[in-house]
Structure 1
Amino acid sequence: MTATMAPNAGAMMQTLVDAAGAPGEPVADMADLAERLRSLLGVAANQVTRVGLGGNLFDVVVTSSGAQARAAVAVMDEIQNGCGPVIEDTRDGLFYWLVPPGTAGRWQPHMYAVCLGAPHKITLPPLTSARPPCEPGPYWFRPSASDRLVPATPLREALARLRPEPTPHAAFADRLGVTP
């Protein structure tokens, strides 16, 4: 018994081969994947690593890290049976909540939070950095678990109810040189 290809299968295969590019050159999206994988391996190897937001990894919601934001973590702990990954940057007094990719495209303006995706980048602390550092900087307030991110809708609702102050908007405006 011999396998036969559908009439258009050969043309489809040739289209895929042509789209792959020249031999020895990575396909454009594979180069991006390889860069992201190297970055995440750096985090696993206890290195501080910068990664791009968006794609298939995650976006971030940025809030203050004050008492109200900590209360929001407690709410998310209850909702998720342990909150998804949150980074605290003690230098800036901010929380970076890792949310599903694509959240930034759907996020409506929020009084107490900013959501960022591609083309922005974030610095991830080493996975072993789960306590505030001696020097100001980032650490995992809630360590990253491979099986979850922070769900955007319950987070948005918790932030609206708890109102973490100061809002992150002024800090971003200062960084971008925007004046009111």
Structure 2
Amino acid sequence: MCHPWLYGSCLQTSGLHKPRTGHLVAAGHARRSGRPGPRAGLHSREVKGLEMIEVKEKAAFYYNVAAQSPAVWPVANGVSFVSRREHHDWGIALHIEGRALRPEQLREALQMRFSEAERFRNYFLFLDVQRDFVVWHAVSDAPDAVTNLDDIRRHELMLAGLEHLA
């Protein structure tokens, strides 16, 4: 069974399959006997008080998003994507540490969010308890939902004024 919200991500075969073992495996990363799975070689670290897998590649991050597993993908100094639950929904959060924020970055992001309200209607901008700037978007697990993870990632970077990291 494939999850349609993974269609259109960077992988050509970007469905999500549930093998007989009950583990979620992103297409293109199916486990083969004697070969490590997509989490091999990864280590855990604590981020914002939560134990998370740190990944080095977009495909591994998307795998964790699909599996609704907490994960962090650092993309620049002080800038990371985080797979996490916010309130009741699982989603992708772009975290920008306070030390990495430009002076006008938050104001510019809010201005863009509300001047293009329809385009960014499902994106939530806030400061967390550590005063890090967060841009968050839910990822639906509904069977009929279609969400492009690359689009979410690009729009989050656009809102934060970090398009160059796309």
- The structure where helix makes up a greater share of residues is 1
Q: Which of 1 and 2 has higher RCO (CA within 8 Å, sep 6+)?
A: 1
TM-score, normalised to structure 1, is 0.29
- The structure where strand makes up a greater share of residues is 2
TM-score, normalised to structure 2, is 0.31
